[in-house]
Structure 1
């Protein structure tokens, strides 16, 4: 999914590394002479320079073993996938290391686009990481994607509005139904992602998992996997989506809302609750410093774990992030693995969290004094990632998500029949009987 950038003064030292690159590429050199060490190309997800900084550090530390060329991928997950699939399917040897959204790791691995890490490499690359992000990089019991950054959605709320409604969003039993009732009682809005894109899939999947179900069973069966939204969990998820979308608590732009639209509504006078990623707090603070957001709004922002579907069952916070894979056609696989190991070291992941507001996959990062100073919700982020719910780890994920978001959109149209209709449509799409 798209990641949003915003200026922060302490990033200025790394921004120069990624500024105005020729042909969208930057060559970072180490100590070797021209024509000597191989140049490794790393396709990165757009950021404010944090990836380039990590690459430069590794090129310098390699002692001339390799240089690093940075290529920036498009800003949306869909466009990123399209570009990489085209190039990898063509056997592009220039792709040494690739950053990919967690939902595409299974597809790329199954297609033979990535070199699997050996057991020894996997052990070194994942030591100290939270288990949930590591699982997103696995396929066929092998590690193909080393977690580069992780993420989990939180519940954000306006403290003054929650107090007026007499609710405590930090309560372990706080549910979606309770949240909707509170927002309606105050004439306020619940902001989330309802646009027909990956963010909407994130919401639907989290509701189903939080209710104890799955959108798809027997995922390893590939196209023969069993759609399973027609279940108590899927039906409750549909009830929550439809009830919210048809209520006074729904933002007027819900069916077109992505992360930033949700944040804008939440920060407005109508805002009360929001489901979104951890970056939003740093974004709000930055906006206050720039004078575009009242500091009182920032001071009124509270956070809690993703709400429950039922009071007696813990929620499954949406799990996001990105993994690093080594291209199957790379001419320099050993150096590429060495680069990944250097890039992915825990201190660099911790610094990246400070510079880019992208959570680290390492458990120890959240004990860093610098992280705890910057993130008052560090423990909640770590807990939410550790207990987060992934989207289906399937090589046919694009078809699965497309079938769901198509039949569940717009949110106001979702009703008790939607889960069964979706299962039939998804089964047809996976079998090739229908097209998205």
Structure 2
């Protein structure tokens, strides 16, 4: 396998050996060095994405101790910008990057570069016990644990029950993308997706390819020598879905710049039957909150339905996207023991339930779905759907070079209005191969 960051990895090991040898002296020294701060004790910086910030800030305070404080630092809203900021800090061996909320696709790259501390022994067991299969896989790299699953995300098909009924769709049975697009177009509705040139568009493409039995790339353990598979029947099936939607009256007017937020507003329009929409778990709480503000009525909210992610190929099980947030510890932190302890605290069962209850960001640990608070906050069948989707869903390629893979796919599959199953998969395969081989630049 191709490796990056071996020097950083060696420096990290050396740092940990010194910390272990010094024992309590290291902690005392670190505390004395930080004594010029207002609190007189170390502050652990926790870089978080903008989801559930109120709950995260609460748990930063609750997980602070007599020995250290945890302070939240806000990352940009986009996954690409989040990665850029964190990667720059870690590449510079920034010791103030203590805790990080990581998109799961960052974990392989950061671990492979030697930028993350491993959760060893009891710490590794504590953060992985009872975790659902989808989120569990996201924190592993080379059979080691490099992050603590905090919350798990998956997409389902949200829809207006009245629209599905008018179309004659039995939503208790699996539905295909073709059926959903036709149902919306034939009945004056729309289909909401994420098709701007950003990470969520790759999430959609990847899920459809997985659902058709293929992969964007395989043998990802080989690094830049991974096998490029996107030019396949599965790739063509995904491209055909995008082309069909783009050419359909069901396409929303902002398709080429659509994101998670823009598609939400089409569910309950001032006029029209609404939409079918692919979106994450937060959508339920978003719409429930609109009742209190008076933007929708209880009757409208009761018309909101949910079903498993659509099939790409009829009869083939869909592969719902698996996402969420994992808590990583920076390899260059001055306080490795404190940071590993803090990571376990902010990813605790209590924190996971609070994020789900208050922000719609669902637990990574399966048992937390049975909590009384969540059973009261959500329909039982929705909680079950989310768990099933996380256990049976599919992740994006697990590669130390994922950032290159994602950007290469985006560059050839955007705009969705230009996607053609006869050419797009082949063109993107060639470009992706050239990027991995160093023959082309993004």
Q: TM-score, normalised on structure 1?
A: 0.89
Matched, 1:52 2:82: no
Q: Verify: 1:406 aligned to 2:407, yes or no.
A: no
Q: Does 1:166 align with 2:171?
A: no
Cα separation, 2, equivalents of 1:214 and 1:170: 28
User: Do 2:209 and 2:234's aligned partners in 1 also have CA atoms closer than 8 Å?
Assistant: yes
Deviations 1:346-378 (A, max 9, x none): 122111211221111010111112102211111
Q: Is 2:71 the counterpart of 1:66?
A: no
CA distance in 1, matches of 2:160, 2:281: 15
Q: 8 Å contact 2:284–2:360 — kept in the other structure? A: no
8 Å contact from structure 2 (residues 285, 359) kept in 1: no
* Residue-by-residue CA offset, 1:93-139 (whole Å, 9 max, x unaligned): 11111111111111111111111111332111111111210111111
The answer on whether the counterparts of 1:190 and 1:272 sit within 8 Å (CA) in structure 2 is yes
| Cα shift at 1:35 | 5.9
State the superposition RMSD in angstroms. Answer: 1.5
- Alignment map for 1:371-386 (pairs within 5 Å): 371-376=374-379, 377-386=382-391
Which residue number in structure 2 is paired with residue 226 of structure 1? 227
Cα shift at 1:384: 0.9
Which residue of 1 is the match for residue 115 of structure 2? 113
1:33-432 matches, within 5 Å, as 37-46=41-50, 47-59=52-64, 62=65, 64-172=66-174, 174-268=175-269, 269=272, 271-376=274-379, 377-415=382-420, 416-432=422-438
Distance in 2 of aligned mates of 1:283 and 1:293: 11
* 2-structure distance, mates of 1:110, 1:257: 33
Residue aligned with 1:325, SS:
strand
Normalising by structure 2, we get a TM-score of 0.88
Unaligned runs of 5+ in 2: 1-36
Tell me the distance in 1 between the aligned counterparts of 2:216 and 2:246.
21
Kindly provide the CA deviation profile for residues 140-186 of structure 1, in whole angstroms up to 9, marking residues without a partner as x: 211112111110000011100111111022313x1111112211221
- Name the SS of the counterpart of 2:363 in structure 1: coil
1:48–1:121 CA distance, 2 compared to 1 (3 A)? closer
Q: Distance in 1 between matches of 2:247 and 2:273?
A: 17
Match of 1:13 in 2: none
1:383-407 per-position Cα deviation (integer Å, ceiling 9, x unaligned): 1111121001111111111111111
Query: What SS is found at the alignment partner of 1:49?
Result: helix
Cα distance in 2 for partners of 1:413, 1:295 equals 40
TM superposition shift of 1:410: 1.3
- Aligned pair count reads 400
